[in-house]
Structure 1
Amino acid sequence: MPTLAPVDVDGFVVRAGFLKDVPFFALGDGSLCFAEGGERRVQPHKNGLLAAEKMLDEKGLVTSGDDGLIQKIDSDGTITTLAERPRKWIDLLACGPNGAVAFASGRTAWVRLDDGKENEFAHERAVGGLAFAPKGLKLAVARYDGATIWWANAGGAPQELSWKGAHLGISFSPDGKYLVTAMQENALHGWRLSDSQDMRMTGYPAKVKSWSWSQKGRYLATSGANAAICWPFFGKTGPMGQNPLQLGTRGDNIVSVVACHPKEDVVAVGYLDGMIMMCRFEDNAEVLLRRLGKAPVSSMSWDDAGDRLVFGSEDGEAGIISLR
């Protein structure tokens, strides 16, 4: 049976996760809480923390805030400033290969390479999302009326992908064949990168604010409905012509966060009322991981082994769920 160990973080949980197997909670008040043998706090931002992303090599957690700072926090709590944009809100971050970090404010995105060099990428409209490709140092930028893919460490013309409307979050499929954006309207849009074929994924009653690729990238699980909507990305046409799976359906609540298991075809599903369930793709078998809470689940993440799930909510409820 799953067991839940509560963690008292006392603040909006922007991101919950694991850094070198140590649970962390990045909080909206600018602090970072490590939960290992007690709770240990550091303060990378004086006021507000807006985004947090784990480096791919797990050498640190990168955070940004309303102070214009991009900070790296090691697992021992050491804070290093990677970049600074005074008087700018930095609420978009992405971590890429070889220590690359992307961040954005307004119409401009930057990529900081591991040697400290920065490359700037300007756009005609505000940047809505950032994502690194799974192979090669390519940066995808969601923008108004589409997306742009840049070579992050070199010059050259970018690849432009067009679709009318405001595009916000953005993600590559794990095999690099597809690019998907969350739109201002209640929909996703995607492109098959080999030929720029468009893909529309609609029918959501609310905006998609959370998504997660299943192991091997067969499904993209998403929030924004009264079930986790899981689009199939196997086959030559991706989700086109295929119906999505609907996992963890509840008639009276909306899914706020999804987190796919790193090794099994299951997904953790968090809801606006604080409940968390685990659902299996094959047959929609369900396991209750957490009963109702006081506020919407705001972030969830598995450890690398898939034995523990860490979660946080909008009012500071947080915890670690162990499956073994």
Structure 2
Amino acid sequence: MPTVAPVEIDGFVVRAGFLKDCAYFASGEGEILLSGQGETRLRPHKAGLLAAVPSIDGSALVTSGDDGCIYQFGSDGTPVLVAERARKWIDLIATGPSGAVAFASGRTAWVHLADGREKEFALERAVGGLAFAPKGMRLAVSRYDGATMWWAGTDGDPVELSWKGAHLGISFSPDGKYLVTAMQENALHGWRLSDAQDMRMTGYPAKVKSFSWSAKGKYLATSGANAAILWPFSGKTGPMGQTPLQLGTRNETLVSAVACHPEEDVVAVGYQDGMIMMIRFADKAEVQLRRPGKGPISTMDWDKEGKRLAFGTEEAEAGLISLQD
């Protein structure tokens, strides 16, 4: 049976996950808890914490706040100031290859490279989301009426992808063939990058706020419905013409967070009532990992071995779930 070890945290849990073997929990109140051999509690930001993202190799955590600062630190808890934009709220960050960090405020996005160089990208409308391609220094920025892609290391012209509406969260598929955005309306939109073919994914009763690619990139798991909706991306046309998997259906409770297992075709599904289920793709077999709690699951992530799951809620609950062999 799975075991749950509660963790004390002081607010809405923005992000939970692992830096190698060390679990971390970052709250909107500005507290960052590192839980490894012991516990370390940090408050690098002068006020609240707005975003937290692990580095590509999982060795460091990058955070931003309403103090305009972007910090990076490893499991030893030593914060390093990456960049600063005085009097700006930095609520969007993304990590890329070779230590690159992208961040945004308003209608401007920046990429900070490991050697200290920075590149600025100006948009006509506010930035909705940031994502690096799985290979190379290509940055995608979601915005109103579509997305824009730049090569951060060169001065080439951007690639514009258009679709009416406000585009927020954004993600490349693991093979780099597709780009997907979560929209302000209850839908996803995607593009096949080889020919900019549009892909429309609708039918959600609520906004999609969480998505996660399966281990081999064959499925994109999403929140926003009373089940985890997994869109198939294994064919040449992505999810178009295919029926998504629906896992963990509950009649009146919406899914608030999803996290695909790093190795197996399994997904952790968190609900608005705080319950967490683990569900297998092939036969929809379910295992309850956590009973309902005080508030919606806001974040989840697996360790590299897929044996521990870190989670947090909107109501200052957090913990580590360990699976038994």
Give the TM-score taking structure 1 as reference length: 0.99
Match of 1:47 in 2: 47
Once residues 148 and 216 of structure 2 are traced to their aligned partners in structure 1, the CA distance between those partners, rounded to angstroms, is: 25
Query: What is the DSSP-based 3-state SS (H/G/I as helix, E as strand, rest coil) of the residue aligned with 1:40?
Result: strand
Once residues 274 and 246 of structure 1 are traced to their aligned partners in structure 2, the CA distance between those partners, rounded to angstroms, is: 19
Once residues 78 and 128 of structure 2 are traced to their aligned partners in structure 1, the CA distance between those partners, rounded to angstroms, is: 30
| Deviation by residue 1:283-302 (Cα, 9 ceiling, x = unmatched) | 11100000010011110000
Match of 2:229 in 1: 229
1:114 paired with 2:114, answer yes
Match of 1:151 in 2: 151
Match of 2:127 in 1: 127
Match of 1:32 in 2: 32
**Within 5 Å, which residues of 2 pair with 1:92-111?**
92-111=92-111
Once residues 10 and 159 of structure 1 are traced to their aligned partners in structure 2, the CA distance between those partners, rounded to angstroms, is: 42
Please say which of residues 44-53 and 300-309 is displaced more in the overlay: 44-53
Once residues 39 and 103 of structure 1 are traced to their aligned partners in structure 2, the CA distance between those partners, rounded to angstroms, is: 29
1:179 paired with 2:196, answer no
| Deviation by residue 1:84-104 (Cα, 9 ceiling, x = unmatched) | 011110010100000000000
Match of 1:22 in 2: 22
Match of 1:66 in 2: 66
Instruction: Quote how far apart the aligned CAs of 1:39 are.
Output: 2.5
Q: Which residue type is aligned with residue 133 of structure 1?
A: A
Once residues 56 and 126 of structure 1 are traced to their aligned partners in structure 2, the CA distance between those partners, rounded to angstroms, is: 26
Once residues 140 and 229 of structure 1 are traced to their aligned partners in structure 2, the CA distance between those partners, rounded to angstroms, is: 24
Match of 1:194 in 2: 194
Once residues 172 and 77 of structure 2 are traced to their aligned partners in structure 1, the CA distance between those partners, rounded to angstroms, is: 31
Query: What is the DSSP-based 3-state SS (H/G/I as helix, E as strand, rest coil) of the residue aligned with 1:114?
Result: coil
Once residues 139 and 279 of structure 1 are traced to their aligned partners in structure 2, the CA distance between those partners, rounded to angstroms, is: 32
Query: What is the DSSP-based 3-state SS (H/G/I as helix, E as strand, rest coil) of the residue aligned with 1:30?
Result: coil
Query: What is the DSSP-based 3-state SS (H/G/I as helix, E as strand, rest coil) of the residue aligned with 1:263?
Result: coil
1:2 paired with 2:2, answer yes
Tell me how many residue pairs correspond in the alignment: 324
Once residues 116 and 285 of structure 2 are traced to their aligned partners in structure 1, the CA distance between those partners, rounded to angstroms, is: 48
Once residues 162 and 318 of structure 2 are traced to their aligned partners in structure 1, the CA distance between those partners, rounded to angstroms, is: 40
Q: Which residue type is aligned with residue 251 of structure 1?
A: N
Query: What is the DSSP-based 3-state SS (H/G/I as helix, E as strand, rest coil) of the residue aligned with 1:175?
Result: coil
Instruction: Quote how far apart the aligned CAs of 1:212 are.
Output: 0.1
Once residues 259 and 57 of structure 1 are traced to their aligned partners in structure 2, the CA distance between those partners, rounded to angstroms, is: 18
Match of 1:91 in 2: 91
Please say which of residues 105-114 and 8-17 is displaced more in the overlay: 8-17
Shift >3 Å, 4+ stretches? none
Instruction: Quote how far apart the aligned CAs of 1:237 are.
Output: 0.7
Instruction: Quote how far apart the aligned CAs of 1:124 are.
Output: 0.4
Query: What is the DSSP-based 3-state SS (H/G/I as helix, E as strand, rest coil) of the residue aligned with 1:217?
Result: coil
Once residues 73 and 13 of structure 1 are traced to their aligned partners in structure 2, the CA distance between those partners, rounded to angstroms, is: 18
Match of 2:205 in 1: 205
Query: What is the DSSP-based 3-state SS (H/G/I as helix, E as strand, rest coil) of the residue aligned with 1:318?
Result: strand
Match of 1:160 in 2: 160
Query: What is the DSSP-based 3-state SS (H/G/I as helix, E as strand, rest coil) of the residue aligned with 1:195?
Result: coil
Match of 2:304 in 1: 304
Give the TM-score taking structure 2 as reference length: 0.99
Please say which of residues 31-40 and 121-130 is displaced more in the overlay: 31-40
Instruction: Quote how far apart the aligned CAs of 1:254 are.
Output: 0.4
Once residues 237 and 56 of structure 1 are traced to their aligned partners in structure 2, the CA distance between those partners, rounded to angstroms, is: 28
What RMSD, in angstroms, separates the aligned Cα atoms of the two structures?
A: 0.7
Instruction: Quote how far apart the aligned CAs of 1:248 are.
Output: 0.3
Instruction: Quote how far apart the aligned CAs of 1:38 are.
Output: 3.9
| Deviation by residue 1:134-187 (Cα, 9 ceiling, x = unmatched) | 111100000110000100111010111000000000000000000000000000
Once residues 44 and 55 of structure 1 are traced to their aligned partners in structure 2, the CA distance between those partners, rounded to angstroms, is: 17
1:140 paired with 2:140, answer yes
- Structure 2: 5+ residue runs without aligned partners? none
Once residues 184 and 66 of structure 2 are traced to their aligned partners in structure 1, the CA distance between those partners, rounded to angstroms, is: 23
Once residues 245 and 206 of structure 2 are traced to their aligned partners in structure 1, the CA distance between those partners, rounded to angstroms, is: 17
Please say which of residues 50-59 and 166-175 is displaced more in the overlay: 50-59
2:269–2:279 CA contact under 8 A, matched in 1: yes
Match of 1:56 in 2: 56
Instruction: Quote how far apart the aligned CAs of 1:10 are.
Output: 2.5
Instruction: Quote how far apart the aligned CAs of 1:60 are.
Output: 1.6
Q: Which residue type is aligned with residue 306 of structure 1?
A: G
Instruction: Quote how far apart the aligned CAs of 1:57 are.
Output: 2.5
2:221–2:230 CA contact under 8 A, matched in 1: yes
2:274–2:294 CA contact under 8 A, matched in 1: yes
Q: Which residue type is aligned with residue 185 of structure 1?
A: E
2:21–2:36 CA contact under 8 A, matched in 1: no
- Structure 1: 5+ residue runs without aligned partners? none
Please say which of residues 257-266 and 73-82 is displaced more in the overlay: 73-82
Once residues 121 and 271 of structure 1 are traced to their aligned partners in structure 2, the CA distance between those partners, rounded to angstroms, is: 37
Q: Which residue type is aligned with residue 121 of structure 1?
A: F
